Amino acid sequence: NNEKVLKLTISSKHERNIEELKLSDHSLKKQHGNFILRLKVPYNYLQIDDYELKALELLGIKKDWLTDISMDNSFCTH
């Protein structure tokens, strides 16, 4: 089983907000003019109600900053 990652695509118009959050360069990349934030998902995420919304709240990211949110397979080996 591959681990899951939460992939948040954040509009570039929120660049200042993203900079203020001081997110890890390992997790945050700029791609196609937007910011892509990839976060490991806990093994029990299906048991957490509204996992995606809770993750946004904990990170300090507002839902209206997003252009996309998805769950992807992680192929990272470390």
pTM: 0.85
Which pLDDT value is given to residue 65?
97
Please give the average pLDDT of every successive group of 10 residues along the chain, which has 78 residues.
86 95 90 93 89 93 96 73
**For residues 37 and 28, is the Cβ–Cβ distance under 8 A?**
yes
The two tokens of residue 62 are: 């507002």
* Residue type at position 43: Y
Which pLDDT value is given to residue 77?
57
Which pLDDT value is given to residue 12?
95
Of the candidates 13, 12, 40, 11, the residue with the CA atom closest to the CA atom of residue 26: 40
